[in-house]
């Protein structure tokens, strides 16, 4: 993968210092309210974009908003009795209710545009599929791969086959939690990056949502630890090259998926800062930015890196991207949800070192929101 080599080279050559977040530390109810309001404003604009272009959204895009709906409902319930956060609770509740309507309406459009894909993956846009973590852990840095291969053997069609087999939707008599020897091998190969890596995590995340515990899935936590450790490594590389497009899509997907898997290290305030800055102010979407510097221009010319097949991506003439927007709202919604889960601990490091893995070193106080329990 030539473009991956370019990313590594840029990382080695640039490696700028980490930029602190401009957001307030979430160690008081007032600061939580400030951050929560900024997040909800972003999510409200993104939902208006969804509403405006609902007929053009594909199933993968709707899945991101289904995750967001679950996150908003949890926030609404958790903050309903807090006087300082009740107004935000009500906003979250209204937005969650609006998404229920939009998600229901989307089914008719998906039946027309991609009926076969809808049949295979409809469970992931149904209420009750996505479940949020209530305990947090660190990534284990000792599990990071020493190097990535020069070629990426990822096949999205093979991934679809294995995910559908796991969901139990391949045939009328299929049951959830099924897998073949081919899928076991394909989804547990080590040493890969990009969307291969995130789809490997997605596979075991699906198994967790379905409650699969036998055979291969008895090792699900090990593989989620492994894959998210390496997804964190990729996110740090993306940060080191100032989030140059098109790595932003994978960067946000990694936060969304590993956040759902319970890895609190992905919820860094400076990463939230960055993601919020990528939203197009008029359209409310996320997508292609205007080139900002030579690094961005170079990577925009390397579209083969992290490129998704056209069937999965819907990009509009104004630069808005369905997939970018979907993973953005799933990631941002995770930041909102983790505000609910984080205790108020003035002046302390929110990310405790006392957790199951305990390998990722804490950063500046409050720079990571989630606290392992």
Write the pLDDT tens digit of every residue in 152-206: 778 899 999 999 999 999 887 789 999 999 999 999 999 999 999 999 999 999 9
- Measured torsion, CA atoms of residues 153, 316, 330, 126, in degrees rounded to the nearest 10: -90
Q: Which residues contact 119 (CB under 8 A, 6 or more apart)?
A: 169
Q: What is the pLDDT of residue 371?
A: 56
pLDDT band at 343; cut points 50, 70, 90: low
**pLDDT value at 311 more than 80:** no
pLDDT number for residue 267: 96
Please give the backbone phi and psi of residue 267, each rounded to the nearest 5 degrees, phi first.
-95, 75
Which has more pLDDT, 305 or 232? 232
Runs of H (alpha helix) within the chain:
2-13, 29-52, 59-79, 86-113, 115-121, 156-167, 181-186, 194-210, 220-240, 247-260, 269-277, 294-300, 322-341
Q: Kindly report, residue by residue over 285-301, the tens digit of the pLDDT.
A: 999 986 654 544 555 54
Q: Which residues contact 89 (CB under 8 A, 6 or more apart)?
A: 75, 76, 77, 78, 79, 80, 82
Residue 331: predicted pLDDT: 98
Select the more confidently predicted residue: 313 or 207: 207
Q: Report the percentage of the chain scoring pLDDT > 90.
A: 69
Closest listed residue to residue 27, CA positions, set 371, 313, 372: 371
Residue 1 vs residue 199, higher pLDDT? 199
Asked if residue 308 has pLDDT above 50, the reply is no
pLDDT band for position 346 (50/70/90)? very low
Range of lowest pLDDT (108-112, 170-174, 256-260): 170-174
Side-chain-side CA neighbours of 24 within 13 Å: the count stands at 16
Distance between CA atoms of residues 314 and 211, nearest Å: 32
Higher pLDDT pick, 199 / 368 = 199
Q: What is the pLDDT of residue 303?
A: 43
Average pLDDT over residues 60-85: 96
- Is the CA virtual torsion 55, 105, 284, 17 positive or negative? negative
The two beta strands, 286-287 and 320-321, are antiparallel
| Euclidean distance between CA atoms 140 and 328, whole angstroms | 25
Handedness of CA 214, 215, 216, 222 (dihedral sign): positive
Residues 338-367, mean pLDDT to the nearest whole number:
50
Spatial separation of the C-alpha atoms in residues 276 and 261, rounded to whole Å: 22
What pTM, to 2 d.p., does this model score?
0.87
Query: CA 224, CA 208: separation in Å to the nearest integer?
Result: 10
Q: What is the largest CA-CA distance in the chain?
A: 56
Q: Is the pLDDT of residue 100 over 90?
A: yes
Q: Which pLDDT score is estimated for 248?
A: 96
Lowest average pLDDT, out of 187-201, 303-317, 354-368, goes to: 354-368
Task: Report the alpha-carbon distance of residue 255 to residue 268 in Å, rounded.
Answer: 10
Mean pLDDT of the chain: 85
Residue 320 host element (H or E): strand 320-321
Residue whose token pair is 């319930």 = 77
List the one residue out of 264, 269, 263, 193 whose CA is nearest residue 231.
Answer: 193
pLDDT per position as a tens digit, 113-140:
999 999 999 999 999 999 999 999 999 9
Q: Which residues contact 108 (CB under 8 A, 6 or more apart)?
A: none
Tokens 């229901």 correspond to: 104
Helix (H) or strand (E) holding 321: strand 320-321
Residue with tokens 């709906």: 69
Q: Write the DSSP symbol of residue 170.
A: S
């Amino acid at each position: 993968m030539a473009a991956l080599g370019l990313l590594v080279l840029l990382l080695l050559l640039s490696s700028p210092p980490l930029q602190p977040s401009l957001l307030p530390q979430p160690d008081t109810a007032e600061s939580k309210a400030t951050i929560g309001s900024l997040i909800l404003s972003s999510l409200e604009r993104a939902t208006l974009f969804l509403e405006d272009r609902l007929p053009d959204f594909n199933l993968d895009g709707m899945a991101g908003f289904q995750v967001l709906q679950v996150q908003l409902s949890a926030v609404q319930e958790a903050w309903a009795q807090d006087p300082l956060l009740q107004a935000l609770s009500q906003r979250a509740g209204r937005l969650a209710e609006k998404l229920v309507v939009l998600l229901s309406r989307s089914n008719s459009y998906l039946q027309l545009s991609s009926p076969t894909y809808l049949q295979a993956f409809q469970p992931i846009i149904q209420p009750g599929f996505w479940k949020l973590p209530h305990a947090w852990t660190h990534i284990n840095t000792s599990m990071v791969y020493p190097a990535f291969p020069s070629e990426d053997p990822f096949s999205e069609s093979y991934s679809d086959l294995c995910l559908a087999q796991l969901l139990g939707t391949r045939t009328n008599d299929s049951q959830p939690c099924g897998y073949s020897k081919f899928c076991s091998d394909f989804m547990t190969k080590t040493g890969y990056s990009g969307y291969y890596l995130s789809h490997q995590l997605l596979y075991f995340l699906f198994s967790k949502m379905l409650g699969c515990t036998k055979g291969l899935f008895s090792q699900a936590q090990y593989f989620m630890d492994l894959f998210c450790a390496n997804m964190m490594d990729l996110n740090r590389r993306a940060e080191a090259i100032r989030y140059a497009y098109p790595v932003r899509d994978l960067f946000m997907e990694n936060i969304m998926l590993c956040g759902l898997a319970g890895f609190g290290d992905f919820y860094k305030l400076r990463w939230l800062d960055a993601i919020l800055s990528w939203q197009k102010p008029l359209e409310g979407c996320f997508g292609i930015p205007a080139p900002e510097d030579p690094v961005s221009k170079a990577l925009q010319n390397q579209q083969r890196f992290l490129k998704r097949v056209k069937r999965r991506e819907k990009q509009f003439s104004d630069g808005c991207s369905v997939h970018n927007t979907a993973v953005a709202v799933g990631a941002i919604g995770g930041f909102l949800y983790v505000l609910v889960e984080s205790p108020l601990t003035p002046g302390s490091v929110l990310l405790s070192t006392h957790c199951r893995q305990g390998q990722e070193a804490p950063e500046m106080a409050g720079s990571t929101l989630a606290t392992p329990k």
